[in-house]
């Protein structure tokens, strides 16, 4: 009997097996439970595959989506619905960076202890940093043209608006046809998840790199004769600017000035600075991964290097990252991490390490501020705008991207912004006009 | 928690403001809100009581006889089946050089007759001087010569046995079974009210009556068994606890099946009772062994031929409109086939017949595509084979053949390979192959620790969730805590069965109980962790909880094997009580006076077991007892170095 008894202890292996499995499962539950509950077949949370719980408000407590008495509804205004679609997301989860999808666990009111239990069946709520009304203005300003408007507060990091067109009304989601240009990237928040050829707005980054590298950068002169030969190829400029300094080169957007500056800086230096400026890194906005830009360090004395300093070549820039960089210039070289959640962000914004020296930032800020009334006269009535236009060649016979990036030099409205109109034409006329409309609404 | 408090205050506030409009609904909501915290607490109390009673408390072994040694000391025989030899693994270790490691087996039968079996010793065995050839009956006072070492067999007379049963601690001594049943009743009432709240105002009348009927059956069983003077209810309490959860799942999804389910629980209970009755007599148990085993495999074979191919497996046959899963019932037959008494272990050392039997069962199940059951049977086979032979070589061979069989299965049954592919990758295809696991995980997370309230879940509406994904249903509606406690409950049964094997009478019961808990635990592991994607998914039931009559009845039937290994005094219906003996001093019962909550009346222990018709036991033994071996006072006569009479403390454990 003693033998049989001792052998029977072998059955305890099953107990240890079960304990091991249970521990594994509980760890997984703690780590991934929030993702598991957002499985659209979960009828507690979704109804017919549509999110059926939770409320999302804008910074002024305007409901973007609201669940009351167990009934889910969107904002009543169809323009606001379209304007905020990409930050809010749709109920099917098509827009991965939208709050309804990305923060579904929070909207469901999920936590490990309580599950999705909700006494009133309304789920949890979120307040976003975006301004619904401002977004509506930005959406209307884009007037159906594909593009993006991003604006953030460079002191707090709050993203005030991130509008992306094409968009749709989440109440009546369209049947998206693959390949139809009208739906090109309709599920992408361009400000968050895309990167585009930056064109001349990138000259600001080249200038910032030079200000930190060369002590004489602010006063250094280059000669522009309309055409510049490098490595057997030509860099062309829209004008023949003669001997030109940095401020004027920014104002007239002289390609040859920045091509020569880039050649003097070298590809590796530029690449290092672009990473430092956060233009080629993937930022994290309250958990949402932002698409990084792209900058390739070209060989010395090549046309590729020259064009890369102008914002062409293989350069790609993400609008939100550019807005963050503009904010850093306005902020004495210190970037503030953008955020989209009002409720969970800490009161004190995380102070970053400066990405450029204070004097360089201030010098550059002053230049961007002073070129606006001189070179873009009457474009921004009543606003203390600092900024730079961009008209990016995209090739393939398509029209240029129109950009305007900058910030308000206004302590009451510390906003950095980027406007992009895809294939929109000239930067100033198209993007500048959109920027003005949005900024006028923002300071009102 | 702040959020919850806020919710609750808002709700109470709302209730006050909105009176009387919606007041009742609000109250029901508030009830669910509060009771969902009470359910885990009650479940924890129930499980804790069972755990403490079964696993924490120490219970004394039974003494069946003594061996008086040449040096004048005595050694107790704690089992019906004892080996004597030099080896430390012998039940009685006699360290004389002339003894073999396993020299002799002394086996007692139901009628208190002892048999000596020479285990192929070198020195040989004599009985009263005559050489023993193979085996022979030995009587009280007979002198056994083991390689020249003479020991005398001193049986306990009925008075001593009665005294022993008086002194041995009965279950319920520390944890009153009625208390545990009371908590289960509360649990059932809370569940029932949650269902009323969740389905209000369209409450199906079967829901309250079903729960009430279960409570009634439970207490009816309690009083019936108490009338039979048994005080051990922890095992049944665990089963009733799990049945309550199972019934709650039914109430949420098929309220019209409530009464049917309760009836099935009742049928299970009856079969449990009958099987306990068979098992209480080892001769009967052994006699029923092969008929039941053969009947089982025949049933399985018939099932295989006539089973409908449904839901991916040929698990069901339909008899008179009732769906039956043969595999569930064959578990009972399998355990019967596998169990063996010590005599058999020594006389028939090879496992050939059982291996063939197990191979047949596992093979048919695999052909039926019921790989979950096949895995359970195979695990039970491994455990039985190891318990019987202790032979790692056999086990290794079996495992090796499993690997071969598994490879064969994976080649000829691609859908099984698919399950292995899906394992760990369910979120890669949550709407396809990984659907069941993804749903279970999602809904398990939904429920949190406290659940959404009974009847408020959605997973139960998914097809077959009430069997294979039942952990998710429990976790969603009743919370993770209750779901885990349901798993813990099964494992408490497992550990208890192993623990009680130390005091078991026959290896038959040890093996049967071991195989039973192995099946239970393997089922739970496959069911729960398969549905949670920790291991590959196989369709298998969770004992007592999964919907289905076959599973419910078979689970209760198997419980009888655990009950038969429970040798605590007056614990088990599957163990006969001793005979009534006059003349044992009542004063010996003083030990229990300190225990106010102990309900047992001391007179109880001396009454006849009303169902025991075995009269032989009462006959006076011939020859009388050599008074040298006993002190004057009955009841304290084992007061010597070898046995502590009152078994206070844990001393006896040291000697096991």
B chain contacts of residue A115, beta-carbon cutoff 8 Å: 445-452, 476, 479
| Torsion of the alpha carbons at A25, A29, A31 and A33, rounded to the nearest 10 | 150
The rounded Cα A129 to chain-centroid distance in angstroms is: 14
The rounded Cα B255 to chain-centroid distance in angstroms is: 29
Q: What is the pLDDT of residue B567?
A: 81
Residue A231, Ramachandran bin (φ over 0: left; ψ between -120 and 50: alpha; else beta) = left
Q: Which two tokens stand for residue B573?
A: 């219906």
- Residue B486's pLDDT band, with cuts at 50, 70 and 90, is very high
The radius of gyration of chain A's CA atoms, rounded to the nearest angstrom, is 26
Answer yes or no: is pLDDT of B229 > 50. Answer: yes
Which of B442, B524, B534 faces A24 most closely, judged by CB atoms?
B534
Q: Which of B180, B266, B238, B169 is nearest to B571 (CA)?
A: B169
pLDDT digit string, tens, across residues B503-538: 888 888 999 999 999 999 999 999 999 999 999 888
* Average pLDDT across chain A, whole number: 90
Q: Which of A17, A2, A8, A6 is nearest to B513 (CA)?
A: A8
Q: Contact at 8 Å (CB) between A420 and A438?
A: no
Of residues B134 and B529, the one with the higher pLDDT is: B529
A chain contacts of residue B78, beta-carbon cutoff 8 Å: 1
Q: Which of A52, A24, A27 is nearest to A38 (CA)?
A: A52
Q: Which two tokens stand for residue B614?
A: 């075995």
Which of B345, B442, B491 faces A18 most closely, judged by CB atoms?
B491
Contact: B91, A14; criterion CB under 8 Å: no
- Residue A119's pLDDT band, with cuts at 50, 70 and 90, is confident
Which of B36, B435, B445 faces A36 most closely, judged by CB atoms?
B445
A40/chain B closest Cα distance in angstroms: 9
String of DSSP letters for B592-640: GTT-TT----GGGGGS--TT----GGGSPPTT---GGGS-SSTTSTT-S
Which of A1, A15, A33 faces B79 most closely, judged by CB atoms?
A1
Cα B40 to Cα B450: distance, rounded to the nearest angstrom: 7
A187/chain B closest Cα distance in angstroms: 21
Cα B22 to Cα B18: distance, rounded to the nearest angstrom: 7
Instruction: Give the N- to C-terminal CA distance of chain A in Å, as an integer.
Output: 91
A38/chain B closest Cα distance in angstroms: 7
* Number of neighbours of residue B142 by Cβ within 10 angstroms: 18
Cα B203 to Cα B195: distance, rounded to the nearest angstrom: 8
Could you give the 3-state DSSP secondary structure of residue B400?
Answer: helix
Q: What is the pLDDT of residue A96?
A: 86
pLDDT digit string, tens, across residues B38-82: 999 999 999 999 988 888 777 778 888 888 888 888 888 888 888
Which has the minimum average pLDDT: B265-274, B464-473, B480-489?
B464-473
Q: Contact at 8 Å (CB) between B296 and B557?
A: no
Contact: B448, A115; criterion CB under 8 Å: yes
Q: Which of A189, A85, A61 is nearest to A135 (CA)?
A: A85
- Residue A78's pLDDT band, with cuts at 50, 70 and 90, is very high
Which of A1, A34, A109 faces B504 most closely, judged by CB atoms?
A1
Q: Contact at 8 Å (CB) between A115 and B448?
A: yes
Query: What value does the mean pLDDT take over residues A237-247?
Result: 91
Q: Which of A170, A191, A173, A174 is nearest to A80 (CA)?
A: A170
Q: What does each C-alpha distance from A428 to A45, A253, A254, A432 come to in angstroms?
A: 47, 11, 15, 4
Which of A54, A119, A125 is best to mutate for the B interface (most B CBs within 10 A)?
A: A119
Q: Which residue of A has its CA nearest to B1?
A: A114
Q: Which residue of B has its CA nearest to A110?
A: B446
Interfacial residues of A (vs B; Cβ cutoff 8 Å): 1-12, 14-15, 17-18, 21-22, 24-25, 29, 33-34, 36-37, 39, 41-45, 109-120
- Residue A172's pLDDT band, with cuts at 50, 70 and 90, is confident
Could you give the 3-state DSSP secondary structure of residue A150?
Answer: strand
Answer yes or no: is pLDDT of A249 > 90. Answer: yes
Cis peptide upstream of residue A45 (ω within 30 degrees of 0): no
Q: What is the pLDDT of residue B186?
A: 96
Q: Which residue of A has its CA nearest to B500?
A: A5
The rounded Cα A39 to chain-centroid distance in angstroms is: 27
Contact: A1, B525; criterion CB under 8 Å: no
Which of A7, A11, A37 faces B445 most closely, judged by CB atoms?
A37
Which of A6, A8, A105, A123 is best to mutate for the B interface (most B CBs within 10 A)?
A: A8
Which of B54, B85, B445 is best to mutate for the A interface (most A CBs within 10 A)?
A: B445
Q: Which of B88, B61, B64, B59 is nearest to B74 (CA)?
A: B64
- Residue B19's pLDDT band, with cuts at 50, 70 and 90, is very low
Q: Which two tokens stand for residue B567?
A: 């040798």
Q: Which two tokens stand for residue A72?
A: 């889910």
Dmax of chain B from CA atoms? Answer: 96
Q: Which of A138, A96, A78 is nearest to A319 (CA)?
A: A138
Contact: B83, A1; criterion CB under 8 Å: yes
Beta strands B308-310 and B313-319 are antiparallel
Residues, chain A: 444
pLDDT digit string, tens, across residues A124-169: 888 999 999 999 999 999 999 999 999 999 998 999 999 999 999 9
String of DSSP letters for B352-417: HHHHHHHHHHHHHHHHTT-HHHHHHHHHHHHHHHHHHH--HHHHHHHHHHHHHHHHHHHHH-HHHH
Q: Which two tokens stand for residue B574?
A: 């599957």
Cα A427 to Cα A55: distance, rounded to the nearest angstrom: 38
* Number of neighbours of residue B244 by Cβ within 10 angstroms: 26
Answer yes or no: is pLDDT of A441 > 90. Answer: yes
- Kindly provide the ipTM of the predicted complex, given to two decimals: 0.82
Which of B8, B439, B487 faces A119 most closely, judged by CB atoms?
B8
Which has the minimum average pLDDT: A336-340, B245-249, B595-599?
B595-599
Q: What is the pLDDT of residue B164?
A: 80
A52/chain B closest Cα distance in angstroms: 14
- Residue A267's pLDDT band, with cuts at 50, 70 and 90, is very high
B chain contacts of residue A112, beta-carbon cutoff 8 Å: 448-449
């Amino acid at each position: 009997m003693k033998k049989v008894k001792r052998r029977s202890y072998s059955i305890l292996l099953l107990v240890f097996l079960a304990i091991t499995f249970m521990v594994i499962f509980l760890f997984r539950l703690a780590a991934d439970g929030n993702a598991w509950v957002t499985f659209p077949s979960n009828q507690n949370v979704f109804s017919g595959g549509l999110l059926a719980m939770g409320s999302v408000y804008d910074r002024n407590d305007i409901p973007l989506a609201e669940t009351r008495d167990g009934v889910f509804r969107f904002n009543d205004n169809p323009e606001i619905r379209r304007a905020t679609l990409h930050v809010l997301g749709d109920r099917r989860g098509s827009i991965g960076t939208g709050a309804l999808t990305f923060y579904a666990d929070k909207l469901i009111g999920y936590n490990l202890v309580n599950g999705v239990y909700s006494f009133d069946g309304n789920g949890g709520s979120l307040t976003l940093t975006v301004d619904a009304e401002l977004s509506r203005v930005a959406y209307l300003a884009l007037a159906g043209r594909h593009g993006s408007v991003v604006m953030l507060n460079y002191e707090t990091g709050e993203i005030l608006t991130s509008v992306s067109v094409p968009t749709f009304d989440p109440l009546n989601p369209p049947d998206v046809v693959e390949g139809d240009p009208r739906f090109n990237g309709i599920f992408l928040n361009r400000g968050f998840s895309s990167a585009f050829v930056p064109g001349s707005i990138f000259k600001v980054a080249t200038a910032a790199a030079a200000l930190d590298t060369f002590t004489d950068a602010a006063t250094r002169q280059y000669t522009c004769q309309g055409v510049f030969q490098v490595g057997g190829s030509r860099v062309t400029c829209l004008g023949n600017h003669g001997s030109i300094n940095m401020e004027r080169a920014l104002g007239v957007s002289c390609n040859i000035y920045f091509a020569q500056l880039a050649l003097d800086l070298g590809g590796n230096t530029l690449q290092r600075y672009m990473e430092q400026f956060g233009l080629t890194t993937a930022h994290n906005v309250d958990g949402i991964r932002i698409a990084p830009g792209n900058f390739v360090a070209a060989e010395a004395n090549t046309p590729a290097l020259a064009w890369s300093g102008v914002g062409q070549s293989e350069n790609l820039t993400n609008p939100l990252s550019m807005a963050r960089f503009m904010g850093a210039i306005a902020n004495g070289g210190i970037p503030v991490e953008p955020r989209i959640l009002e409720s969970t962000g800490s009161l004190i914004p995380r102070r970053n390490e400066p990405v450029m020296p204070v004097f360089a930032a201030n010098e550059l800020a002053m230049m961007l501020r002073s070129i606006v009334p001189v070179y873009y006269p009457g474009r921004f009535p009543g606003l203390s705008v600092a900024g730079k236009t961009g008209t990016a060649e995209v090739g393939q016979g398509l029209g240029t991207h129109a950009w305007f990036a900058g910030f308000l030099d206004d302590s009451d409205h510390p906003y950095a912004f980027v406007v992009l109109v895809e294939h929109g034409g000239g930067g100033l006329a198209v993007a500048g006009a959109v920027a003005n409309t949005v900024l006028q609404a923002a300071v009102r | 928690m702040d959020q919850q408090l806020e919710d609750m205050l808002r709700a109470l506030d709302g209730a006050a403001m909105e009176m009387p409009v919606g007041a009742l609904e609000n109250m029901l909501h508030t009830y669910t809100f509060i009771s969902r915290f009470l359910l885990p607490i009650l479940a924890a109390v129930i499980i804790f009581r069972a755990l403490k009673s079964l696993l924490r408390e120490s219970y004394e072994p039974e003494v069946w006889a003594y061996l008086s040694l040449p040096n004048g000391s005595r050694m107790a025989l704690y089992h019906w089946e004892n080996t004597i030899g030099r080896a430390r693994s012998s039940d009685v270790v006699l360290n004389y050089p002339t003894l073999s490691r396993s020299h002799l087996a002394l086996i007692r039968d139901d009628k208190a007759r002892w048999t000596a079996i020479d285990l192929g010793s070198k020195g040989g065995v004599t009985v009263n001087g005559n050489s023993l050839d193979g085996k022979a009956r030995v009587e009280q006072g007979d002198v056994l010569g083991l390689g020249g070492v003479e020991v005398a067999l001193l049986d306990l007379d009925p008075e001593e046995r009665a005294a022993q049963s008086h002194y041995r601690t009965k279950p319920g001594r520390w944890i009153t079974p009625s208390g545990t049943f009371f908590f289960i009743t509360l649990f059932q009432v809370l569940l029932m009210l949650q269902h009323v709240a969740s389905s209000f105002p369209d409450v199906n009348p079967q829901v309250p009556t079903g729960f009430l009927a279960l409570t009634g059956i439970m207490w009816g069983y309690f009083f019936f068994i108490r009338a039979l003077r048994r005080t051990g209810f922890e095992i049944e309490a665990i089963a009733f606890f799990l049945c309550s959860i199972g019934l709650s799942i039914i109430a949420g999804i098929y309220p019209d099946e409530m009464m049917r389910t309760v009836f099935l629980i009742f049928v299970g209970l009856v079969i449990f009772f009958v099987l306990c009755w068979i098992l209480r007599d080892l001769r009967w148990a052994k006699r029923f062994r092969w008929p039941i085993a053969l009947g089982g495999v025949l049933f399985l074979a018939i099932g295989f031929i006539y089973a409908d191919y449904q839901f991916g497996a040929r698990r069901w046959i339909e008899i008179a409109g009732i769906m039956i899963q043969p595999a569930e019932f064959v578990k009972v037959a399998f355990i019967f086939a596998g169990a063996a008494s010590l005599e058999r272990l020594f006389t028939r050392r090879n496992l050939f017949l059982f291996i063939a039997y197990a191979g047949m069962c596992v093979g048919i199940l695999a052909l039926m595509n019921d790989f979950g059951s096949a895995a359970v049977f195979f695990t039970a086979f491994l455990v039985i084979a190891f318990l019987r032979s202790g032979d790692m070589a056999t086990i290794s061979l079996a495992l090796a053949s499993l690997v071969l069989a598994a490879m064969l299965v994976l080649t000829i049954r691609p859908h099984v390979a698919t399950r292995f592919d899906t394992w760990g990758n369910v979120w890669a295809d949550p709407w396809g192959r990984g659907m069941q696991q993804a749903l279970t995980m999602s809904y398990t997370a939904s429920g949190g620790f406290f659940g959404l309230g009974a009847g408020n879940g959605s997973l139960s509406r998914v097809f077959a969730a009430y069997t294979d994904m039942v952990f998710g249903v429990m976790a969603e509606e009743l919370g993770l805590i209750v779901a885990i406690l349901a798993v813990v409950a099964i494992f408490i049964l497992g550990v208890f069965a192993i623990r009680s094997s130390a005091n078991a009478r026959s290896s038959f019961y040890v093996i049967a109980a071991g195989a039973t808990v192995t099946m239970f635990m393997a089922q739970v592991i496959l069911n729960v962790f398969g549905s949670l994607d920790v291991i590959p998914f196989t369709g298998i039931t969770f004992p007592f909880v999964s919907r289905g009559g076959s599973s419910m009845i078979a689970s209760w039937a198997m419980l009888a094997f655990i009950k038969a290994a429970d040798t605590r005094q007056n614990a088990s219906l599957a163990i006969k009580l001793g005979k009534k003996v006059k003349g044992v001093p009542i004063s010996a019962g003083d030990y229990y006076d300190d225990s106010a909550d102990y309900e047992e009346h001391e007179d109880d222990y001396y009454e006849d077991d009303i169902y025991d018709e075995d009269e032989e036991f009462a006959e006076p033994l011939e020859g009388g007892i050599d008074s040298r071996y006993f002190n004057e006072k009955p009841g304290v006569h084992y007061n010597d170095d070898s046995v502590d009479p009152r078994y206070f403390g844990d001393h006896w454990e040291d000697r096991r």
